[in-house]
Structure 1
Amino acid sequence: MPRQGAAGAVRGLLGMGALAGGLVALILLPVACTVGIGARDSAQWMQQEPEDLSLLASPQRSKILAADGSTLATFYYQNRVEVRLDQIAPVARRAVLAIEDARFYQHGALDSQGTLRALVSNLNSGEVTQGGSGITQQYVKNLRLEQADTKRERQEALALTPARKIQELRYAVAIEKRFPKDEILRRYLNIAYFGDGAYGIEAAARRYFSTSAARLTLAEAATLAGITRNPEGYNPRLHPGAARDRRDVVLDRMGELGWAAAAEIAEAKNEPVRLDVTETPNGCTSSKAPFFCDYVQREILNSPVFGKTAKERERLLKQGGLTIRTTLDPKTQKAAQRAVDRHVPPKNSAGKAAAEVLIQPGTGRIRGMVVDRRLGPDSERGKTWINFAADASHGSSIGMQAGSTFKAFTLAAALEDGTPFGSRLLAPSRFIPTGYSNCDGDPVNATTPLRNSADGEGGRTFSLVTGTAHSVNTYFLALQREVGLCETVRMAEKLGMRQASGKALEQYPSFTLGFNTVSPLRLAAAYAAFAARGEYCKPIAITSITHTSGRRLPVPGADCEQVMRKGTADAVNHVMRSVLSSGTGRGLSIGRHAAGKTGTVDNFSAAWFAGYTPDLAAAVWVGDPRGGYRYPMTNLCMDGRCYGSVFGATIPGPIWQDSMIGALSGREAHRFHRPPTFYFSKGSGEDLVGLPDVRGLKLSAAVARLRAAGFQVGVGGEVESKEYPKGTVAEMSPGPGARLEPGTYVTLRPSSGEPEPEEPEPDPPSPEPSDPAAPHD
């Protein structure tokens, strides 16, 4: 642009009375062709509000809260905490105005004095080389930068061109019309970047000084005010010397304006830059409930309720200033984490892992979710990104075979069908799975025999109670055939069971033995339905979400539904209490009504325990992330503790026990309901029989009598006996009168006759006569 044209532009500006007209004359002439307007219409155009003016709230960090209101995690692209103007110390407001725009309350969209000074230089060079922007214009620049979605938009928002300046000025005029000065200042102080990842003065106060904007001192306020001109160069953490020099410039300017007393300024300038840096966590890795936090995060990122695209949902989470209130109970979470880490330490020498989920019956609320690892890269020992507690959609886990915990669904199907506790079925040692059909009516038989595992037994009849207590595989295969495979599958599905991949459960005869790969979350929710008397609730982690604007967002509901008769659930609870009292889980009682089921997967590749009270249900998995069949839990030694073969009651059971005791301590204990009377129509199902006393009977007669009473009999070695003649029973184990289940194995030992008489021992020699003269004590 010719120098003569520049001088004319300045003269034109000085001749205009209206600030907006002067502004256009000052800047528009060199770029009028670019923006497509004439100088004659410039003033009117400048006064019109831009159509694309968007004054959306500044991006805010979101936070996840536990049920008690404590913070679990924060999420943000920009670490910002929006505050009111009265929450910012007056000295901080004065410091920023002093160095950025001392005449802010006296001028309009432009400070003509400052702009004239800068633009004479800009017009002479043909480009914007000097700043003259006031607070309003700086707010506009920051606003446009934050609203830029693409790299090109961000470059345009920062470009040193007259065209950008024109757009900023138009925005500034519109904003000055729309808001009072205090509101503009508030918005600027909340949007400005103060370096080191701190956006807005509140986040900056917390970041550098571990205080709030309301409590900033003069020295601290001046330090922050000096940063915004060059956030990296004046970062007091990285460049304390430059930051101090810049602080002193701000203090001197405050003194020139009379906005701070000379003595206060001198004292502040004598202070070194004292920092008390606070790290603001971002994401779940530093959360005290990392895998639950990750579950909540995925709940939002995966659901179209929170945005049509993944990008929109992520933006909402990291910019929307959401307050996400969750179901997590810190006491329950702490108890579970302590239990899991105690029994399966995060960096254990065997490479095993454990996961547990705890759910409140009747609500679906997830009260705790733990993994023994820490959330992080798998390349670091003791860390993983995979949430073994949840499905693939909420944690990338492909699930784990559930083992005998699935027998509960066969039990529930049988009881829903009206099967009494005392109904008995033969549990053979080997079971050939024939006579099964899936829900499509197709036969799904096999010829390979299925056997009992080491935590069960077979070869006799069992009732619902005893078959469940001892977790007898062949008994449940027979029961499933009686009830129907499809009925068992449908019962599991009504209780929310699906594969962790999201696919439907596969239907084969070994369904009841738990070959499907599932998550602890779904299993805990299913068992919670038993505790809730047959009311199944989808597991939920979020109770409410509030946007920074105050708008409430929809959240997934538990959709509770009665999926079985209350009496059926009461009967399930009655039967599965026997697991803890006399079955595979004995020794795992927690001092209140509780029920549960052990689960041991083929070849000891994994182990489970799922159990519940009327107030809390939990499912625990223990296994090897590298592959359970490749790394089975046999002859397992882990951090100095060794086990033979790991069953459901070996490690998962104690984890469950410790978790439940810790979570429920100090809380009222409730009792299960008594099941309907008709379930006792064939007896209690326990079938305890007094063991007849067959001692003194001939061996053949004793064996016949015990077999007639329903017991199995074995004969051990002979024992000597004075009381019982040779060939008769001298000893029996268990002892006579013991109350046992039918089919219990009794060992008899016959008498070999009286023992040989013992030869008398010779008398000891007489002592030598004592010397009467010897001294006495």
Structure 2
Amino acid sequence: MSTLSGLSGLLVALVLLPTTCAAGIGARDAARWFRSEPEGLTTSGVPQRSRILDAGGRTIATFFYQNRVDVPLSQIAPVLRIAVLAIEDSRFYDHGAIDAQGTLRAFLSNLGSGQVTQGGSGLTQQYVKNLLITQAESDAERREAQEVSAARKIRELRYAVALEKRFTKDEILRRYLNIAYYGDGAYGVEAASRHYFSKHASELNLAEAALLAGIIRYPYAYDPTQHPTAARDRRNVVLKRMADLGWIDRATADATANLPIRLKVDDVKSGCVSSEAPFFCDYVQREILTNPVFGQTPDVREKLLKRGGLTIRTTMDRRAQKAAQRAVDAHVPPKNSAGKAAAEVMVEPGTGEIKAMVVDRRLGPDKERGKTWINFAADASHGSSIGMQAGSTFKAFTLAAALDEGMPFGTRLFAPRKYTPVGYRNCDGERVGDPSKALGNAADGEGGKKFSLVTGTQHSVNTFFLALEKEVGLCDSVKMAEKLGMRQASGKPLEEVPSFTLGSNPVSPLRLAAAYAAFGARGKYCAPIAIKKITNAAGEELEVPPRECRQAMDKGVADAVNHVLTGVLTKGTARGMGLGRDAAGKTGTVDDYSAAWFAGYTPELAAAVWVGDPRGGYKYPMDSLCMDGRCYGAVFGATIPAPIWRQSMLGALSDTPASSFRRPPSHFFSEGSGEEKVKLLDVRGLKLDEAVKRLRAAEFKVRVGRPVKSREFARGSVAEMTPGPGSVEPGETVTLRVSTGPGPRDGDPLPPIPPIPPITPPPTFPALPGEGGQQAPG
């Protein structure tokens, strides 16, 4: 071995003879220096492609600087290994870092030319050259790694000697096969195999292996997608070399050489544009590129994503994502004639996990119809959107603040037809508002009477909520929204103005969905997250943004919010949009019909939908919208956003068992249910069975008490009813007592009490054409 090492060192000196002579360095000194460990030798920094996966482990998108997937030698077909060795370095396992025969050949060439023209490169030296080129991060470093010079050759040879001491031959071969370029954007044998043949490197046959082995020498000239004839000729050269070495028999080589090239190209794209979930993908990408947890500078974070070989496991649920995309595209097609857009985000209550994020457009340049680079579903930090005014969806925060202060459902406030906001103070105690500007309601007939917390919410009465906001305090409404994670899409704090409750702040669907998810989680707010786990190319787990959850409001208060918002879907502005399971929500229509929203939830899932015009909602309002041959008139939150929400939720929850909201604490019912008062019929004097029938038809509950003496009402008829005729809560329980006449004789039996039939579900009604009292702020 020492003789061979000395010969290698001497041959190296001979290769570099012109340089050593000019410097006055002896061959023996040159050989001794050469065998020493070079400084700065590292094999790290080889780019690996990163993958974003959904919650089920399927790939959403791939990111890479070089399309490379590092694999162990055991996952590379043996036939590929011998094909590469045959054509590149058949004596690889017999010589050391330097192939004496090749180096001697180089010596003779260099001696004749007076400069380094050949290097006699063995496979280890080729690996080193590829490594130095791959590690280069600037054009200057790349030129230095490829220049034809003695300095480069010295460095490559020294590195090769050091690496042969550090690694086994098998490991060097593995590294070489994983770093080599195979043309057409494929780096490493696994990526090349997937690209050209849509199979793993472990599955390659002889013809495919020989083709890939032949490409390595001149990847651009032998690229089979561009130069199939040259690629086939080169493949056959490899097959002949394998036969000449006796590694395959001649008949097999000849038969394989007669086969045509058969490709099954899988063109992997880098980035989110080709992803099936482009805007969710873009959100994850921006999270990595902007969050310091992934690196202190943007360059470091980008390098990690595009070169780090990351496996990024996310929260996205494929069922929910597809359901949301279908619903959004069905109601607001990407290339619709009106130029409108829509976005939806789904968030899981209690975890904050983003299950779906969709925009009706495709990811791409805005100049192309039906495309946009702006993620309307997210904040500016994760999608460049400045947000959109949220309309009456913000009334839920004022409602929550009122309930948090102990207001019962039956609390009633007068709601005028016009309301001038005066006397409001922000959280600094400063007066805010414009006394000269009166705000009103969107629908005729709303206002001019009292509403309860329940009915004011169901009908979304602007002037009621302005009065309620003043009653509970503007600051308290704002603080409630902030506790539920709300802020402007720009990242700025919420603006504290009287029209806050009417949704004057521009926000993102993501934040609104996460806030409503807190209602579904009984007041537990979790900041939205998209990334669950990240591992690098070595399988090491990296730090990711932590889950941030807190109890933002009392559970009983959240239960009360759920109770009220459930009525929006059964009796209010979104009547008919229920899911057949416990669900609640709130419509939102922005001033002048410039946009429309719906935010709703179940205990299992929350979602927020926005529909508007990217060119500017006030310039292109939806007051008389016609889109792709369908005309809607004025668009409210119940017109397009609510149906999108309903369709997507039904799809997303199709296999999820339903659970129920909790009944609110009893003190919220201290002043009644809060429902609209209804007229209770006077059924006194009627036979008991007829009285029961009429009360049931009016949706009252009925119980029968003990009979009473009565001179006024005939024996067997209803003599008393509690409560008595007049205005009562809907669904009230009415107790009836039957007359026994002016006084029963001794021994007379009491009249029989007919059985009361079981309660049947109340009838359902078609959806209202628009949402009642909604008009967002001016």
| TM bin (shorter chain) | 0.7 to 0.9
Deviation at 1:667, TM superposition (A): 1.3
Deviation at 1:681, TM superposition (A): 0.7
Is 1:533 matched up with 2:522?
A: yes
- The within-5 A match list for 1:407-426 is 407-426=395-414
Match of 2:234 in 1: 246
Which residue of 26, 30, 42 maps to 2:14?
Answer: 26
Deviation at 1:86, TM superposition (A): 1.7
Which residue of 520, 523, 527 maps to 2:509?
Answer: 520
Is 1:596 matched up with 2:589?
A: no
Is 1:555 matched up with 2:552?
A: no
**Greater Cα shift, 54-63 or 570-579:** 54-63
Deviation at 1:373, TM superposition (A): 0.6
Deviation at 1:58, TM superposition (A): 2.7
Match of 1:770 in 2: none
Match of 1:290 in 2: 278
CA distance in 1, matches of 2:360, 2:557: 35
Q: Does the CA contact (< 8 Å) of 1:495 and 1:563 recur in 2? A: yes
Deviation at 1:455, TM superposition (A): 8.4
Deviation at 1:557, TM superposition (A): 2.1
Q: Does the CA contact (< 8 Å) of 1:35 and 1:163 recur in 2? A: no
Match of 1:571 in 2: 560
Describe the shift of the 1:461–1:285 C-alpha distance in structure 2 as closer, same or farther (beyond 3 A): same
Which residue of 540, 543, 546 maps to 2:532?
Answer: 543
Q: Does the CA contact (< 8 Å) of 2:8 and 2:100 recur in 1? A: no
TM-score (norm. length: structure 2): 0.86
* CA deviations over 1:421-451 (Å, ceiling 9, x no partner): 1010000011110010111111003121111
* CA deviations over 1:236-282 (Å, ceiling 9, x no partner): 11111111111111111111111111110000111122222111121
Which residue of 570, 580, 583 maps to 1:581?
Answer: 570
SS of corresponding position for 2:425: coil
Describe the shift of the 1:16–1:422 C-alpha distance in structure 2 as closer, same or farther (beyond 3 A): closer
Is 1:73 matched up with 2:61?
A: yes
Deviation at 1:326, TM superposition (A): 0.4
Deviation at 1:24, TM superposition (A): 3.3
Q: Does the CA contact (< 8 Å) of 2:342 and 2:360 recur in 1? A: yes
SS of corresponding position for 2:532: strand
Q: Does the CA contact (< 8 Å) of 2:69 and 2:191 recur in 1? A: yes
Describe the shift of the 1:309–1:38 C-alpha distance in structure 2 as closer, same or farther (beyond 3 A): farther
- The within-5 A match list for 1:110-125 is 110-125=98-113
Match of 2:244 in 1: 256
Deviation at 1:303, TM superposition (A): 1.0
Q: Does the CA contact (< 8 Å) of 1:28 and 1:39 recur in 2? A: no
Is 1:610 matched up with 2:610?
A: no
Is 1:178 matched up with 2:178?
A: no
Q: Does the CA contact (< 8 Å) of 1:456 and 1:473 recur in 2? A: no
Is 1:86 matched up with 2:74?
A: yes
Match of 2:316 in 1: 328
SS of corresponding position for 2:636: coil
- The within-5 A match list for 1:190-269 is 190-269=178-257
CA distance in 1, matches of 2:277, 2:115: 54
Is 1:629 matched up with 2:612?
A: no
* CA deviations over 1:188-240 (Å, ceiling 9, x no partner): 00000000001111111111122221122212111111111110011111111
- The within-5 A match list for 1:309-388 is 309-388=297-376
Deviation at 1:33, TM superposition (A): 8.1
Q: Does the CA contact (< 8 Å) of 2:389 and 2:506 recur in 1? A: yes
Which residue of 640, 651, 656 maps to 2:629?
Answer: 640
Deviation at 1:687, TM superposition (A): 3.6
Letter in 2 for 1:330: R
Letter in 2 for 1:309: T
Letter in 2 for 1:629: Y
Q: Does the CA contact (< 8 Å) of 2:179 and 2:187 recur in 1? A: yes
CA distance in 2, matches of 1:548, 1:16: 37
Describe the shift of the 1:364–1:36 C-alpha distance in structure 2 as closer, same or farther (beyond 3 A): farther
The structure with the largest alpha-carbon Rg is 1
SS of corresponding position for 2:343: strand
Which residue of 465, 469, 472 maps to 1:480?
Answer: 469
Describe the shift of the 1:215–1:680 C-alpha distance in structure 2 as closer, same or farther (beyond 3 A): same
* CA deviations over 1:582-636 (Å, ceiling 9, x no partner): 1101010000000000000000000000000000000000000000000000111
CA distance in 2, matches of 1:518, 1:417: 26
SS of corresponding position for 1:561: strand
Segments of 5+ residues of structure 2 without an aligned counterpart are 683-724, 732-778
Describe the shift of the 1:386–1:153 C-alpha distance in structure 2 as closer, same or farther (beyond 3 A): same
* CA deviations over 1:85-112 (Å, ceiling 9, x no partner): 1211111111111111010000001111
Describe the shift of the 1:443–1:738 C-alpha distance in structure 2 as closer, same or farther (beyond 3 A): closer
CA distance in 1, matches of 2:132, 2:22: 20
Q: Does the CA contact (< 8 Å) of 2:10 and 2:27 recur in 1? A: no
Match of 1:105 in 2: 93
Deviation at 1:660, TM superposition (A): 0.7
Which residue of 418, 441, 444 maps to 1:452?
Answer: 441
Match of 2:671 in 1: 682
- Say what the alpha-carbon RMSD is for the aligned residues: 1.9
Match of 1:666 in 2: 655
Q: Does the CA contact (< 8 Å) of 2:12 and 2:103 recur in 1? A: no
Match of 2:498 in 1: 509
Is 1:649 matched up with 2:617?
A: no
Deviation at 1:39, TM superposition (A): 4.1
Letter in 1 for 2:375: N
Is 1:47 matched up with 2:35?
A: yes
Describe the shift of the 1:537–1:105 C-alpha distance in structure 2 as closer, same or farther (beyond 3 A): same
SS of corresponding position for 1:95: helix
Describe the shift of the 1:73–1:168 C-alpha distance in structure 2 as closer, same or farther (beyond 3 A): same
Match of 1:433 in 2: 421
Letter in 2 for 1:386: I
Match of 1:165 in 2: 153
Match of 1:134 in 2: 122
Segments of 5+ residues of structure 1 without an aligned counterpart are 1-14, 694-735, 743-777
CA distance in 2, matches of 1:57, 1:267: 42
CA distance in 2, matches of 1:26, 1:553: 49
CA distance in 1, matches of 2:395, 2:210: 69
Describe the shift of the 1:16–1:586 C-alpha distance in structure 2 as closer, same or farther (beyond 3 A): closer
Letter in 2 for 1:100: E
* CA deviations over 1:269-298 (Å, ceiling 9, x no partner): 111222221111211111111100000000
Match of 2:295 in 1: 307
CA distance in 1, matches of 2:107, 2:222: 26
Letter in 1 for 2:591: D
Paired residue total: 687
SS of corresponding position for 1:619: strand
CA distance in 2, matches of 1:293, 1:536: 24
Q: Does the CA contact (< 8 Å) of 1:422 and 1:687 recur in 2? A: no
Deviation at 1:558, TM superposition (A): 2.5
Is 1:64 matched up with 2:52?
A: yes
Letter in 2 for 1:569: A
Deviation at 1:130, TM superposition (A): 3.0
CA distance in 1, matches of 2:532, 2:417: 50
Letter in 2 for 1:244: R
CA distance in 2, matches of 1:16, 1:183: 22
Letter in 1 for 2:282: D
Deviation at 1:57, TM superposition (A): 5.8
Deviation at 1:123, TM superposition (A): 3.0
Letter in 2 for 1:400: M
Deviation at 1:403, TM superposition (A): 0.2
